[in-house]
């Protein structure tokens, strides 16, 4: 019944955890450890860093199509804050405060 509960985002943008500047090398580590390209690569796209999404993933919950997580601010996650990303990966909560279950939380 967890999916029926009120959605709580564990992190806020003013969390002191996010006060440091971005670090691309650490970002690559998070990307690799999370296996982001496994689900978010566009089918037929030879470059697995083009994360346009769309791959059909069949599951007992139905078929999911992972979204575009490219840095594009309109079609991807380029407008997300660090807190939005942390809430998605760790808390399983979207920026619009919806559950990402059953895919996330991914810790």
Q: What is the pTM of this model?
A: 0.77
Does residue 5 carry a pLDDT above 80? no
40 close to 57: Cβ distance less than 8 angstroms: no
Specify the residue for token string 């810790």. 107
Q: Which residue would you say has higher pLDDT here, 31 or 6?
A: 31
9 pLDDT band (50/70/90 cuts)?
confident
Q: What is the pLDDT of residues 43-78, one digit of tens each?
A: 888 887 788 998 898 988 789 888 999 999 999 999
69 close to 77: Cβ distance less than 8 angstroms: yes
The rounded mean pLDDT for the chain is: 83
Determine the pLDDT at residue 6. Answer: 67
Alpha carbon 79 to its chain's center: 13
């Amino acid at each position: 019944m967890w999916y029926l509960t009120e959605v709580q985002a564990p992190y806020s943008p003013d969390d002191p955890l996010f006060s440091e500047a971005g670090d691309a090398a650490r970002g690559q580590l998070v990307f690799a450890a999370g296996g982001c390209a496994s689900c978010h690569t566009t089918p037929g796209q030879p470059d697995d860093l083009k994360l346009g999404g769309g791959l059909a993933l069949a599951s007992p919950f139905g078929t999911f199509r992972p979204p575009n997580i490219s840095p594009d601010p309109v079609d991807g996650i380029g407008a997300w804050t660090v807190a939005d990303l942390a809430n998605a990966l760790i808390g399983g909560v979207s920026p619009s405060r919806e559950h990402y279950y059953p895919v996330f939380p991914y810790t």
